[in-house]
Chains A and B, each alone.
Chain A
Amino acid sequence: MLKELVNQETAPHATNVLVGKLGDILVKAVGKPFDMAINWGRIYSLWPVHLETACCSVEFGAASSPRYDVERFGIIEAFGSLRQCDLIVVMGTITRKMAPRLRMVYDQMPDPKYVIAMGACAITGGLYFDSYNVLPGIDGVLPVDVYVPGCPPRPETLIQGCMLLQEKIKRTKAK
């Protein structure tokens, strides 16, 4: 390496390699704590978008009620625009009429964004496996991060799902 650096002909190339390697080391050294800090922020600040797709929204409401109070985890129902949200909880059945809208809501959210499939209908279609107007699960529409089973799931199960999602975020890269 040193020889190459000294050599007039190979020097420019070797310098580039050296600088590149130094940069890699720096990025690794800086990147890891940086990732951790950002992921820590993301973990405790999940704002779900207000999109009620079906009846599971009742239990989502119960989860933000005083008894289960998901604000403890930093999850506030950001009662506003989807541009400020980072979590989409698919609360139940997705019908054929809703599916394009769901996808559009997902598309318009800023990255990074996470999806929780809540309830049997969102996971596999559940009770409506043979209905003419219901999608068999939302896997074909959105990439799902966590599945929360139940019909509807208890708020505890939803909170457990959110904790799983936090684990998942912890292990992902920041960018």
Chain B
Amino acid sequence: MTTQLPPGMHIETVDEKIMTLNVGPQHPGSGHMRLIIKVDGDYIVSCDPDPGYVHRGEEKMAEYRNYIQNIPHLERPVIHDSSNILYPYCLGVEELLGIEVPERAKYIRVIAAELNRCIYILYWLAIYGIFLGHSTMFMWPAGDRELFIDLLEAMSGARVTHAYLVPGGVRNDLPSNFEERCLRQVEYFEKRLREYEAIFYQNPILKARTEGSGILSRTDAIRLGTTGSVLRASGVDFDVRKKEPYDVYENLDFQTIVMKEGDSYARSRIPYLEMFESCRIIKDALKKMPKSGSVRTKLKPNPKGGNDEVYRRIESGRGAIGYYIVSNNRPEPYRVKISVGSFRNLICMPYLLKGEKLGNMPAVYWGLNYWPVEADR
């Protein structure tokens, strides 16, 4: 009697004792996605992530736009980390077209990327705070984030969607007295960051909620192919900025933060500690940056790539972002594939949530540093 259903379709069987909860899309604890969670009492029996609510077909549309027109598009998946998601694209296109980037532009790019990383992490931290019921931890990072937004606004002119990095450099030069202002704000920001320690990270109630929940062992972290803070929280020392330095990261002074516990607490703490490193990088880059010079190599109006392909990656706030670009002797790329950290970490969700208590769900879910818009592309 049972007919063969086409793949992609299945029939739900309802168990009396197991309750199916749709966490999302309209749910205070979900982002732009849905988790189909089955609970037996207070325990999660299974979790089936259902992303795709923001799937906009960026990769398909990139095939119809030339290399410059793709810039505003490809930063949309993570608008609050837009410099970082454009970074590998610019690197890849530069490799395809054989463009050299001026030295000063490289430093400016690194500064923009690090500022943007801080902006991303602060936003994520704010969300993490409010989902653990800590509204002060929403307000403080969301407010301090504005300091860096001001800096990037002065650099590029837009609050979040900067479209600042382009193949060949950056779009405009730094404004006057930027360095002094940047140094002042970064120093103030480091002072502010230490305030979070007492109210959030050393808070016993937060620790009780996050410590020991959703433990991901080192072997599992490698096997599941996780990336970014999830990977480093499980004790794997891997950071693309260190392992495969791009632009001028090899000249700069910073270190990778690694923790061994692999639980939600470690996953929430690593991005926080990385912000201190970002501040170090910014200060170091401001010191080492050439004070004047060109910031952009001019491109042809409609540059064409060869019959070639390239895979470039960088480290963003959510993990490695890789661009796989195939070109085809045309002004448009033949295929663009964005391999993003959020999508790679998505596989952890059913793995970690199974057997957890329902109360640990927000801590585990947002500890994965998951930004649904990026994962859906």
Direct contact of A and B (CB under 8 A): yes
Q: Which of A58, A82, A130, A134 contacts B80 (CB 8 A)?
A: A58
Which A124-147 residues have a C-beta within 8 angstroms of B? 127-128, 130-134
B365 is an interface residue with CB less than 8 A from chain A: no
A8-16, A23-31, A38-46, A59-67 - the one binding chain B: A59-67
B256 is an interface residue with CB less than 8 A from chain A: no
A32 is an interface residue with CB less than 8 A from chain B: no
Q: Which of B57, B72, B143, B149 contacts A133 (CB 8 A)?
A: B57
Closest residue on chain A to residue B60 by CB atoms? A132
Chain A proximity of B35: nearest CB distance (Å):
14
A154 is an interface residue with CB less than 8 A from chain B: yes
B355 is an interface residue with CB less than 8 A from chain A: no
Q: Which of B56, B149, B160 contacts A93 (CB 8 A)?
A: B56
Query: How many of chain B's residues touch chain A, expressed as a range?
Result: 35 or more
Contact across chains for A51 and B373 when beta carbons are under 8 A apart: no
Known: A59-B160, A82-B26. A65 touches B143 (CB 8 A): yes
A117 is an interface residue with CB less than 8 A from chain B: no
B360 is an interface residue with CB less than 8 A from chain A: no
A53 is an interface residue with CB less than 8 A from chain B: yes
B54 is an interface residue with CB less than 8 A from chain A: yes
CA distance A132 to B61 in the complex (A): 9
Contacts of A62 in B (CB 8 A): 142, 145-146, 149, 159
Q: Which of B31, B143, B159 contacts A59 (CB 8 A)?
A: B159
Most chain A CB neighbours (cut-off 10 Å) among B31, B56, B130, B146: B56
Contact across chains for A97 and B76 when beta carbons are under 8 A apart: no
Known: A52-B32, A54-B32, A151-B161. A130 touches B64 (CB 8 A): yes
Contact across chains for A61 and B76 when beta carbons are under 8 A apart: no
Contacts of B130 in A (CB 8 A): 79
Chain B proximity of A71: nearest CB distance (Å):
10
CA distance A80 to B133 in the complex (A): 12
Closest residue on chain A to residue B50 by CB atoms? A97
Contact across chains for A51 and B146 when beta carbons are under 8 A apart: no
Contact across chains for B25 and A51 when beta carbons are under 8 A apart: yes
Contacts of B25 in A (CB 8 A): 51-53, 98, 101
Q: Which of A49, A66, A97, A128 contacts B26 (CB 8 A)?
A: A49
How many inter-chain residue pairs (CB < 8 Å) link A and B? Answer: 103
Contacts of A5 in B (CB 8 A): none
Chain A proximity of B244: nearest CB distance (Å):
28
A149 is an interface residue with CB less than 8 A from chain B: no
CA distance A67 to B126 in the complex (A): 14
Which B88-147 residues have a C-beta within 8 angstroms of A? 123, 126-127, 130, 138-140, 142-143, 145-146
- Give per-residue flags for A47-89: 1 if the beta carbon is below 8 A from chain B beta carbons, else 0: 0011111110111011011110000000000011010000000
Chain B proximity of A65: nearest CB distance (Å):
3
A152 is an interface residue with CB less than 8 A from chain B: yes
CA distance A59 to B72 in the complex (A): 17
CA distance A51 to B57 in the complex (A): 21
Most chain B CB neighbours (cut-off 10 Å) among A50, A52, A98, A134: A52
Contact across chains for B146 and A93 when beta carbons are under 8 A apart: no
Contact across chains for B32 and A53 when beta carbons are under 8 A apart: yes
Known: A58-B80, A131-B57. A51 touches B26 (CB 8 A): yes
Closest residue on chain A to residue B79 by CB atoms? A55
Contacts of B161 in A (CB 8 A): 151-152
B55 is an interface residue with CB less than 8 A from chain A: yes
Contact across chains for A55 and B159 when beta carbons are under 8 A apart: no
Contact across chains for A97 and B53 when beta carbons are under 8 A apart: yes
Q: Which chain A residues have a beta carbon within 8 Å of chain B's beta carbons?
A: 49-55, 57-59, 61-62, 64-67, 79-80, 82, 93, 95, 97-98, 101, 105, 127-128, 130-134, 151-152, 154
Kindly list 9 other residue pairs between chains A and B, CB separation below 8 angstroms, not including A61-B126, A128-B56.
A50-B28, A55-B76, A55-B79, A62-B146, A65-B145, A66-B139, A67-B142, A82-B26, A98-B53
